[in-house]
Amino acid sequence: MSLADDDTIAYDVNTAAKKASVSRSTIYRLINDGELPSAKVRGSRVILRSDLIATLERLRELA
CATH value at residue 43: 1.10.1660.10
Domain around 30: 10-62
Q: Is 23 domain-assigned?
A: yes
Q: Widest CA span of the chain, in angstroms?
A: 35
Strand-strand pairing, 39-41 and 10-12: unpaired
Continuous H helices in 1-63: 13-20, 24-32, 49-62
Q: Is 5 domain-assigned?
A: no
> Closest Cα partner for 36 from 45, 6, 1, 44?
45
Q: Is 21 domain-assigned?
A: yes
Give me the number of domains the chain comprises.
1
Q: Is 3 domain-assigned?
A: no
Q: What local confidence, expressed as pLDDT, does residue 33 receive?
A: 97
pTM of this prediction?
0.88
| Residue range 2-60, pLDDT digits in tens | 677 788 999 999 999 999 999 999 999 999 999 999 999 999 999 999 999 999 999 99
Q: Is 2 domain-assigned?
A: no
